[in-house]
């Protein structure tokens, strides 16, 4: 299970339950949110879907403790295309 809680403007705490529970600090700007989904989904939902994407590729213990959401695209170049598809269905 993935839970997302807003910490402050554009910063979220994400807890991923699994064999080992992990906690992550994620930043997502309004501009990046709009780029991924056209602003049609909540920022929390975009982050949940982003973590689903990550968990399909690596265990939660391999996900960075703190990062900006666009950083995912550096490690997984298909991220933005995949997210645009997922979020516009």
Q: What is the pLDDT of residue 34?
A: 92
DSSP string computed for the chain: -EEEEEEETTEEEEEE-SSS-EEEEEE--HHHHHHHHTT-S-HHHHHHHHHHHHHTTS-GGGS-SEEETTHHHHH-TTHHHHHHHHHT-
Q: What is the pLDDT of residue 18?
A: 85
pLDDT digits (tens, 9 = 90+) for 60-89: 999 999 999 999 999 999 999 999 888 885
pLDDT digits (tens, 9 = 90+) for 16-67: 998 899 999 999 999 999 999 988 999 999 999 999 999 999 999 999 999 9
Q: What is the pLDDT of residue 39?
A: 86
Q: What is the pLDDT of residue 67?
A: 98
């Amino acid at each position: 299970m993935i839970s997302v809680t807003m910490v402050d403007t554009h910063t979220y705490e994400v807890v991923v339950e699994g064999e080992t529970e992990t906690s992550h600090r994620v930043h997502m700007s309004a501009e990046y949110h709009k780029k991924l989904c056209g602003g049609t989904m909540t920022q929390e939902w975009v982050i949940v879907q982003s973590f689903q994407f990550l968990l399909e590729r690596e265990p939660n213990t391999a996900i960075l403790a703190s990062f900006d959401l666009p950083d995912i695209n550096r490690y997984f170049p298909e991220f933005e295309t995949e997210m645009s598809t997922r979020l516009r269905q």
